């Protein structure tokens, strides 16, 4: 019985454990990636390890999130990131060089390698045949220090693609179809591996769109084989030497199989306010649109912008629509500047935005009040755009361009445009001068710290009895945007936990911060898929700072569960989901923590006078981390 592609890569990197679904494994990390919204805290955590140099093959620090500099905070953080990169042997990607996932795909991703990134869309580089996994910043800091990454071995799902995409149907429609079928919970504890004859028709940028948005399935990661298409892409990037063929072995088996016939796919669109609320574009055609945004790490490649240019040629953006586009990298911006596409888009009435994440994380270009915004992004959570009552739809670049022209939601097959297939160029523009490569010896580099960078909060060892009130009870599919908002107001505070903690659960209950402080902390109760979305560890770190002792849910999203463990917050689940109804906000709870390894545990609802069985999915190592007060405390205690 042969190994599938996922198992082959994991086997090469396995440090401990068995590759049996549900069993804990530890894997060696080759590369790490950070961005400025998560990176500042990750590097503060790396500094706390007391090492002189990163111990990975390659680590890159990108600046792409906090680009709106309305005060000193973001610029100060960028200076810190550049200096800490030079000090510890990390490549620094300067502001303006582009979105981390797009740029890493272009310049550093390698087939067969494993990368850990402090961003949930790190799986973008799975389009190159590498296992790229999103994680919290602390896990990335530990990986930079040479520590293996621990996770439960996921199931491996084969997505078998047959046929070929038809005109005006794109890679975005493939992942939207998967979300339509499987929902935002369908990928939890799974890796999606793409195969079948249909794979051969997809270029690396198309594949990366699919693996990028696999994060919305809740998947650990997604991966395509490294084949001739991969070699062609790396050759065009001047990196053919990085090519390594990597495919599943003959007779490989999978835990699950999903089949998609590309011939029958048509343009799809995700309606507000979830990426899995997917319908055919023609089913909702005609809804007035006030804004269109093209870009993000999902759809900002050279191919994507070439595709919208072919739709926009000779046409004008509708008078009721504002169209903005963000090239994903400086490389892409240079190329469309040289070939006339930039001029074509501007002539059509489009607005050029910075090569950065921008509108995707609420950093500018917010829609008007109650407006409909069609975006080529990966998430459409309520309020994420920066406008609370906006209605955000997710679609392909071709659909977005059609909407911009007509002023209503429109299937691009209905506008009379001539379809033009876009291949990757024989050679991309190569200019790495926006990277700052570290000196051979960084010992004498002075790290620059602005006043917004505050000390790292810590937590004491867990008490024998944990007690407190239920500070908040929430429902299903609570996202990290609900817990810890993004946007221009909050993101600049990522290196200042006392300040950012004032915004915890602001979208749900603006009094949460004040009440948590007054009560000395307590518990949060949630439904299924609690913590879906971004990898932002501040959704665990800031609640820890406020004294949150435990989170009790029906089920957790993977990255958020790991982040809660990392910061010493006890993650528990109801043995019986119906017991969720037996706990209300302001109930007083108690839990004996002296025998956490003995499951189930008994949670005492003191207010109602009842006992509720709860459990957890913590490994022996996880339990030691929670008992120690978090991963940093655990690692330091081990090194003594």
Q: Is residue 340 domain-resident?
A: yes
Using the predicted structure, report yes or no on whether residue 468 has a pLDDT greater than 70.
Answer: yes
* 302-324 tens-digit pLDDT: 999 999 998 999 999 999 999 99
Q: Examine the domain organization and report whether 256 and 275 are in the same domain.
A: no
For residue 640, name the pLDDT band (cuts at 50, 70, 90).
Answer: low
Q: Kindly indicate the confidence band of residue 3, based on its pLDDT and cuts at 50, 70 and 90.
A: very high
Tell whether 71 and 98 lie within a shared domain.
Answer: yes
Question: Could you tell me if 85 and 436 are in contact, meaning their C-beta atoms sit under 8 angstroms apart?
Answer: yes
Identify the domain boundary among 239, 264, 289: 264
Same domain as 160, residue 308: no
Rounded to 10 degrees, what is the CA torsion of 139, 145, 148, 149? Answer: 10
CATH code of 340's domain: 3.30.499.10
Residue ranges with strand state E in 88-220: 91-93, 114-117, 131-134, 149-152, 155-162, 190-195
Q: Is the domain of 209 the same as that of 155?
A: yes
Mean pLDDT of 520-546: 93
402 and 316 in a common domain: yes
Q: How far apart are CA 31 and CA 136, in angstroms?
A: 15
Rounded to whole angstroms, the Cα distance separating 570 from 592 reads: 12
DSSP β-ladder status, 14-17 and 24-27:
antiparallel
Query: Average of pLDDT values for 190-207?
Result: 97
Q: Is the dihedral of CA 542, 546, 548, 554 positive or negative?
A: negative
Strand order in the sheet with 131-134: 131-134, 114-117, 31-35, 58-62, 91-93, 435-436
111 lies in the same domain as 245: yes
Q: Are residues 293 and 158 in the same domain?
A: no
Write the pLDDT tens digit of every residue in 267-294. Answer: 999 999 999 999 999 999 999 999 999 9
**Three-class secondary structure of residue 620 per DSSP:** helix
Domain limits for position 132: 5-264
Query: pLDDT for 411-458, tens place per residue?
Result: 999 998 888 888 899 999 999 999 999 999 999 999 999 998 988 888
Number of domains in the chain: 3
Residue 150 lies in a domain: yes
Tokens of 616: 């957890």
Judged against a pLDDT cut of 70, whether residue 82 lies above it is answered with: yes
Alpha helices for 201-271 (secondary structure H): 204-213, 228-236
Last residue of a domain, one of 380, 414, 448: 414
Q: Do 482 and 542 meet the contact criterion of CB atoms below 8 Å apart?
A: no
Give the pTM.
Answer: 0.92
Inter-CA distances, 263 with 177, 229, 420, 454, 525, Å: 13, 20, 17, 54, 45
What digits encode the pLDDT tens for the residues 19-34?
999 999 999 999 999 9
Name the more confident of 319 and 492. 319
pLDDT (tens digit per residue) in 212-258: 999 999 999 999 999 999 999 999 999 999 999 999 999 999 999 99
* Pairwise CA distance, residues 283 & 399, whole Å: 13
User: How confident is residue 639, by pLDDT bands cut at 50, 70 and 90?
Assistant: low
Question: Is 456 contained in some domain?
Answer: no
């Amino acid at each position: 019985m042969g190994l599938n592609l996922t198992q082959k890569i994991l086997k090469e990197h396995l440090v401990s454990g068995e590759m049996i679904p549900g069993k804990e494994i530890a894997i060696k990390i080759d590369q790490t990636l950070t961005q400025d919204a998560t990176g500042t805290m990750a590097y503060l955590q790396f500094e706390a390890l007391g090492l002189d140099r990163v111990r990975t093959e390659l680590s890159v620090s990108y600046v792409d999130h906090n680009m709106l500099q309305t005060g000193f905070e973001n610029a100060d953080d960028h200076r810190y990131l550049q200096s800490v990169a030079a000090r510890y042997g990390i490549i620094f990607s300067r502001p303006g060089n582009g979105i981390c996932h797009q740029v890493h795909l272009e310049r550093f991703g390698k087939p067969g390698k494993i990368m850990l990134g402090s961003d949930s869309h790190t799986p973008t580089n799975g389009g190159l045949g590498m296992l790229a996994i999103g994680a919290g910043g602390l896990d990335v800091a530990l990986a930079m220090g040479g520590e293996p990454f621990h996770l439960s071995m996921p199931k491996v799902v084969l997505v078998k693609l047959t046929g070929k995409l038809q005109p005006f149907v794109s890679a975005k429609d493939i992942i939207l179809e998967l979300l339509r079928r499987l929902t935002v919970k369908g990928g939890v504890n799974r890796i999606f591996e793409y195969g079948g004859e249909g794979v051969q028709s997809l270029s690396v940028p198309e594949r990366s769109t699919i693996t990028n948005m696999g994060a919305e399935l809740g998947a650990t990661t997604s991966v395509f084989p490294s084949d001739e298409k991969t070699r062609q892409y790396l050759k065009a990037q001047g990196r053919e030497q990085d090519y390594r063929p990597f495919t599943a072995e003959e007779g490989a088996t999978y835990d699950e199989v999903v089949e998609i016939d590309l011939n029958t796919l048509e343009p799809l669109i995700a309606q507000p306010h979830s990426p899995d609320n997917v319908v055919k574009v023609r089913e909702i055609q005609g809804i007035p649109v006030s804004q269109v945004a093209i870009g993000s790490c999902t759809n900002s490649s050279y191919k994507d912008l070439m595709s919208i240019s072919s739709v926009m040629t000779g046409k004008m953006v509708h008078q009721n629509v504002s169209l903005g586009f963000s090239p994903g990298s400086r490389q892409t911006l240079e190329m469309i500047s040289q070939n006339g596409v930039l001029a074509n888009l501007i002539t059509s009435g489009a607005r050029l935005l910075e090569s950065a994440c921008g509108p995707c994380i609420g950093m500018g270009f917010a829609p008007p009040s109650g407006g409909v915004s069609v975006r080529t992004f990966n998430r459409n959570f309520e309020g994420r755009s920066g406008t609370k009552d906006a209605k955000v739809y997710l679609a392909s670049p071709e659909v977005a361009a059609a909407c911009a022209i007509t002023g209503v939601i429109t299937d691009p097959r209905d506008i009379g445009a001539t379809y033009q297939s876009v291949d990757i160029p024989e050679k991309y523009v190569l200019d790495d001068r926006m990277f700052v490569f570290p000196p051979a010896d960084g010992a004498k580099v002075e790290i620059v710290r602005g006043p917004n960078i505050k000390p790292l909060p810590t937590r004491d060892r867990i008490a024998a009895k944990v007690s407190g009130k239920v500070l908040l009870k929430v429902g299903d599919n609570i996202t990290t945007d609900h817990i810890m908002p993004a946007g221009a107001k909050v993101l600049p505070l990522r290196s200042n936990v006392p300040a950012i903690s004032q915004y915890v659960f602001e979208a749900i209950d603006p009094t949460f911060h004040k009440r948590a402080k007054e009560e000395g902390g307590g518990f949060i109760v949630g439904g299924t898929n609690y913590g879906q979305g971004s990898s932002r560890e501040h959704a665990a770190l800031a609640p820890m700072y406020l004294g949150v002792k435990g989170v009790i849910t029906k089920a957790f999203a993977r990255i958020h569960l790991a982040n809660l463990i990392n910061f010493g917050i006890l993650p528990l689940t109801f043995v019986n989901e119906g017991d969720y109804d037996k706990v209300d906000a302001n109930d007083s709870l108690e839990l004996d923590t002296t025998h956490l390894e003995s499951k189930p545990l008994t949670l005492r609802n003191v207010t109602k006078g009842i006992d509720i069985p709860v459990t957890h999915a913590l490994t022996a190592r996880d339990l030691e981390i929670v008992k120690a007060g978090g991963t940093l405390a655990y690692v330091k205690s081990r090194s003594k």
